[in-house]
Structure 1
Amino acid sequence: MKKTLLSPLTLKSGLTLLVLAFIFMFSLTYIIEDLRFYTLKENVLGRFFAIKWWLIGHLSGGILALLIGPFQFWANFRNKYLKLHRNLGKVYLISILIASLCSTYMAWNTAIMVHWTWAFSLQGLAFVWLISSFMAYRSIRRKQIENHKEWMIRSYVVTTGFVSFRWIMALPFIQNLGSFPEVAPTVVWSILALSLFITEVILRWNK
């Protein structure tokens, strides 16, 4: 029987779709909020006005990666539209390349004005984002399909880290822990370490 996007779901694939749908909708709230920056107005951009195109590059790349990711992990969609899957994969990787490079520039031009620990944490996040995505690309070029899938998962986990950071930083009890320079770098490193650790446990558990 020919498979369709509406083929019966296994429990695992059903749970995966639910998780991806949640991530997609959760990310969408922050994406909509960020659309105001595309007005390029100084009163909206604030301290980012002088480097607005670097910000737009970072936002555009990040938004594309967030939106593309769930479709790349949707097995039925991937199997039915393999060529589209590959093309979206290329857009995903290029988006992350642009976003991470723009993030690096902003880290040492605006974030450094807040505190060097804030700039360094953003640089670390951008570095892991770029390298995990490169490893996914390297694996598929070598036709190492399973390695490619695992590195894509790690890459997307880091992609969602930017959204997780904003959600956590908005929590009242986090805001009461101290000033932004005191709290933000720790939150970034905690998200990065814990999310990748949990991801690795899940990946190894299924071996």
Structure 2
Amino acid sequence: MMMNKKLNSNNQTSFWNVILIMVFLIALFYISRDLEHYGMKEETLGRFWNVKWWLICHLTTAIVAVILGPLQFWKWFRNRNIKLHRQLGKIYILSIIITSLCSSYLAWNTAIKIHFTWALTLQVAAVIWIITVLMAYRTAKLKRIQQHKEWMIRSYIVTMVFISFRFFNDYFEAAQIGTFIERAATIGYLATFLPLFLSELVFQWNRKK
């Protein structure tokens, strides 16, 4: 019986490791693709030129969070480098706080010029981003390990919203569903709340108490 449980645990760990690697590779693809559109020239940055340093800070800290996330979830790395895990966790938290604040600034200085609903979508995502990572930090400080893991997953899901947004937007654009202004807010909420809802189903399905 104990052997079966251990095998099941190892199988689950391997499964989630594969999922995490796939998500990380997809994230790298979209990051590399999007960075091609940015450059320190007015003609390439366009409407972002006057807020370029906010944009650069937002992109840099967001990428740091995307990269650090898998290391925080990697059980083998975490168990063998617990002090480093905690230090990287603090960097992850700080990165998300900074990138969220930059996102809020950009929302009401650039996104608002596209449409109010798009700016509001970005602002809501930024607030959820900060709250989820602060909840992950609080549960870690209180040594509520299982809750900490769940809040870290929620936090990383929100971290990946800009990836899932681009995935959904590429599909809607290929299907010729609306203009960007018409679909942006809907896709933003879809990219944020659908993954969070599905993760919550998994958490509650496996909960024993």
Q: Normalised by the size of structure 1, how large is the TM-score? A: 0.91
* Cross-structure match for 2:203: 203
State the alpha-carbon separation in 2 of the partners of residues 144 and 174 from structure 1.
44
The equivalent residue for 2:30 is 30
Q: CA deviation at 1:146?
A: 1.4
Counterpart residue type for residue 203 of structure 2? L
8 Å CA contact retained: 1:168, 1:174 = no
Matches within 5 A, 1:33-182: 33-36=33-36, 39-171=39-171, 176-182=176-182
- The one-letter code matched in structure 2 to 1:115 is H
Q: How many residues align?
A: 199
Q: Which residue of 2 aligns with 1:193?
A: 193
Structure 1 residue 79 displacement after superposition = 0.3
- CA deviation after TM superposition for structure 1 residue 35, in Å: 3.4
Counterpart contact for 2:38–2:44, Cα < 8 Å = no
Structure 1 residue 36 displacement after superposition: 4.0
Using the alignment, how far apart are the partners of 2:64 and 2:200 within structure 1? Answer: 25
1:77-132: CA deviation from partner (whole Å, max 9, x where unpaired): 11011111111111110110010000000000000000000000110111111100
CA-CA distance at 1:175 after TM superposition: 5.6
* Percentage of identical aligned residues: 47
Does the CA-based 8 Å contact 2:38-2:45 persist in structure 1? no
Task: Give, in angstroms, the shift of residue 172 of structure 1.
Answer: 5.0
Q: Is the contact between residue 104 and residue 126 of structure 1 (CA under 8 Å) also seen in structure 2? A: yes
Mapped contact 2:111–2:119 kept (Cα < 8 A): yes
Q: 1:104 to 1:75 in 2, by over 3 A?
A: same
For the 8 Å contact 2:58–2:100, the answer to whether it is kept is yes
- What displacement does 1:74 show? 0.9
Question: What root-mean-square deviation, in Å, do the aligned CA atoms of Structure 1 and Structure 2 show?
Answer: 1.5
Q: Output the amino acid matched with 2:184.
A: A
8 Å contact kept, 1:96–1:130? yes
1:116, 1:156 → 2: CA distance?
Answer: 26
* C-alpha contact (below 8 Å) 1:112/1:119 kept by paired residues: yes
Determine the structure 1 residue equivalent to 2:4: none
Asked if the contact 2:168/2:191 (under 8 Å) is kept, the reply is no
- Would you say the 8 A contact 1:169–1:175 is kept in 2? no
Q: Which amino acid aligns with 1:62?
A: A
| TM-score (norm: length of structure 2) | 0.90
Q: Give ranges in structure 2 of 5+ residues lacking alignment.
A: 1-8
